[in-house]
Amino acid sequence: MRRELVPIALAAILLGMILFFAFQHEKEDKQGVSVQTGNIQLPDMVFRTLDGREVRLSQYRGKVVLLNFWASWCPPCREEMPIFEQVYNRYKDKGFEILAVNMDDSEESMKRFLEKNKLSFTILRPTGDLEKELRLMGLPTSYLIDRNGKVVKMHLGVYRDLEKDLISQLHMVR
């Protein structure tokens, strides 16, 4: 009888550990991590619009840009999209642009997501191996870029403080 309880006890302990670490990971994802970058310049990356045109990051100089890397299968990415939509609509006429680069393997997955979630900011697709070029550590990853093209903040996870960081870049008082 005791031997029969050992596998059950081990399974219960293992399940408990899995649930504990899953919960911890979920908490980390909700908080995210921000890093002041000290004005790093990104390379002049080339992206593709949904209608096939090429777009360069340098075309957005003079605006404050949020460069966001996301995927439709990524829960934190999906969570931050309504935040981005709200902030974009509030500040787009004040020199703010969002470039959301979809990293889905399948364009169909992205299109299904976009059909359900009407987003008014720019959605792009990568043209090269951006994950290696930028050394993306996970999704979502966001770069807040000032009007001169310098990265002032890099954020991994849901970017809840975007509006606060954006206001300081737009030199606005609320």
Closest CA to 81 of 126, 137, 54, 121: 121
Site of tokens 């999906």: 78
CATH code matching the domain that covers 34-170, chosen among 3.40.50.620, 3.40.50.2300, 3.30.930.10, 3.40.30.10: 3.40.30.10
CA–CA separation, 29 and 55 (whole Å): 30
CA angle 144, 147, 153 (to 5 degrees): 20
Residue 88 banded pLDDT, cuts 50, 70, 90 = very high
Q: Residue 135 corresponds to which tokens in the numbers above? A: 């050394």
Instruction: For 34-82, write each residue's pLDDT tens digit.
Output: 777 767 889 999 999 999 999 999 999 999 999 999 999 999 999 999 9
DSSP 65-80: EEEEEE-TT-HHHHHH
Give the contacts of 78 (CB within 8 A, at least 6 positions apart): 72, 113, 117
Instruction: For 100-136, write each residue's pLDDT tens digit.
Output: 999 999 999 999 999 999 999 999 999 987 767 788 8
- Output the pLDDT for position 30: 55
CA angle 26, 68, 173 (to 5 degrees): 95
Asked whether the beta carbons of 99 and 122 are under 8 A apart, the reply is yes
CA–CA separation, 159 and 76 (whole Å): 9
- Predicted TM-score (pTM) of the model is 0.80
Sheet hosting strand 33-41, strand order edge to edge: 33-41, 150-156, 141-145, 64-70, 96-102, 122-126, 46-49, 54-56
Task: Give domain limits for the chain.
Answer: 1-31, 34-170
For the chain, give the mean pLDDT. Answer: 84
